[in-house]
Amino acid sequence: MALKSTPVVFGLMTRLSRRSFSTSKALASKPMTVRDALNQALDEEMARDERVFILGEEVAQYDGAYKVSRGLWKKYGDKRVIDTPITEAGFAGIAVGAAFAGLRPVCEFMTFNFSMQAIDHVINSAAKTFYMSAGTVPVPIVFRGPNGAASGVAAQHSQCFGAWYSHCPGLKVLMPYSSEDAKGLLKAAIRDPDPVVFLEDEILYGVQFPMSDEALSNDFVLPIGKAKIERPGQHITLVCAGKATDTALQAANELAGNGVECEVINLRSLRPLDYETIAQSIAKTHHLVTVEQGWPQSGIGAEICARVMESPAFFELDAPAWRVTGADVPMPYARNLEALALPRPVDVVAAVRTVLGNRISQTVQQ
C-alpha cells in the first residue's frame, strides 16, 4: 500500500500544479506551423538585438534546409545570416568563439546527427568554459536543428540526442512540441547567457498549432525549466517531450474513452528538468509512465524514474513506473520496421493498462 498525501497536502499540491498550465488564452488564437513559429522567434530576436546572428549550411540564400530561416537573409544581410561550408566542426567552432567575444550566435545543424562532427566544441568549449573561467566568460549560444526520427532516413539520420546532451552540466537542453513552445522557448534560448541545445522535430515543422494573441506578441517568452500540463487527469501521469507528446496525447484520448484520465506533462525542458511538476502529478495520480523516442538505456525516462526512486514521490506510487521508448536498435530503413522502432499510441495504451492493472511482472516475464 502506497503512502498517500493528506487532503491538505493534496490540495496544496493541486493548487501548485496549476502553475504549470499555459498562461495563454485559448479563445483568441490562430493556427501557425512550428516552422513559422521558429522563424518568427528568430526574426524578432534579430530585430531586438543586433548581436544575434545565424550561421549554418544553407541558412541564407536557400532560406534553410527546412525553411526555418526563410526571408531572414534578405532582411538582415550577409553579416547576420551566414552560409557555411559543409564542416560542422568548423562553423560550430566559429560560433562558440563568437559567443566568447560577446555575440549571440544561433548555430544551425541541418540535423543533430551531424552535431557529432562538432561535439568537442559543444561539450568541451561551449558547456565548460563559463565554469573553467570562474564565471568570467559567458557563452550565450544556441545550437538548434531537427533531432530524432524523421521518415525513411535510416540509422545515421534518425537519432534522438536528448539524453546525450542533457547528461552534460553547463548546457541547457530544450525540446519543444507545439508552435507556442517553439517560439517562446527559442526566444528564451537566444536571450539566455548560457549555451542552449534546442532540439526540434522535422515531423512537426509543418504541423499547425493554435497561437494565442499573447504568443504572437514580440514580448512572448517561455521560462526555461518549466513543464506544461497539456492534459489534466487523475488516474496516471504520462511524462514526455517533443514528438512523444503527440504520441502520449493520442493515447490519452483513446484511454479517456474507456474512463481512464491521463495527466500528460510536456517537459519542454530536459535540462533543467522540472521534477517538481512531475512529483506533484504523481502525488495526485499515484502512477507513472514516461514516453520518449530515444533509446531505453540511460534515457530521459530512466533519469525520471531514478529521481522518483530517490525522492518522497516514490512512496506515492501504487505500482512501479514504466518506460515507453524507442526500440534498442539502430533505426531501420524499411518503413514497416521503422514504425515498429518508435513508440506508438498503442504502446502507451498498453503500458498504461499494464501499470494500472499492476500486471508488470507478467509483462516482463512474457
Q: So which residues are the catalytic ones?
A: 88, 157
Distance from C-alpha of 172 to C-alpha of 17, rounded to nearest angstrom: 23
Is residue 221 a contact partner of residue 234, using CB atoms and an 8 Å limit? no
H-run or E-run covering 82: strand 81-83
For residue 366, give every residue at least 6 positions away whose Cβ sits within 8 Å of its Cβ, in sequence order, or none: none
- Phi and psi at residue 104, in whole multiples of 5°? -125, 80
Do the strands 228-231 and 269-271 form a parallel or antiparallel pair, or are they unpaired?
A: unpaired
119 CB-contact burial (10 Å; exposed 0-12 / middle 13-18 / buried 19+): middle
For residue 79, give every residue at least 6 positions away whose Cβ sits within 8 Å of its Cβ, in sequence order, or none: 53
Instruction: Residue 332: count other Cβ atoms within 10 Å of its Cβ.
Output: 16
DSSP state of 222: P
Q: Give the cell for residue 264.
A: 500528460
Give how far Cα 156 sits from Cα of 64, 161, 331, 343, Å.
Answer: 21, 12, 8, 19
Give how far Cα 310 sits from Cα of 186, 212, 307, 313, Å.
Answer: 32, 39, 5, 8
CA 171 vs. chain centroid, Å, equals 14
311, 159, 299, 300: which is closest to 227 by C-alpha? 300
Q: Give the cell for residue 340.
A: 515498429
82, 146, 92: which is closest to 119 by C-alpha? 92
1, 18, 9: which is closest to 283 by C-alpha? 9
H-run or E-run covering 259: none
Distance from C-alpha of 86 to C-alpha of 41, rounded to nearest angstrom: 25
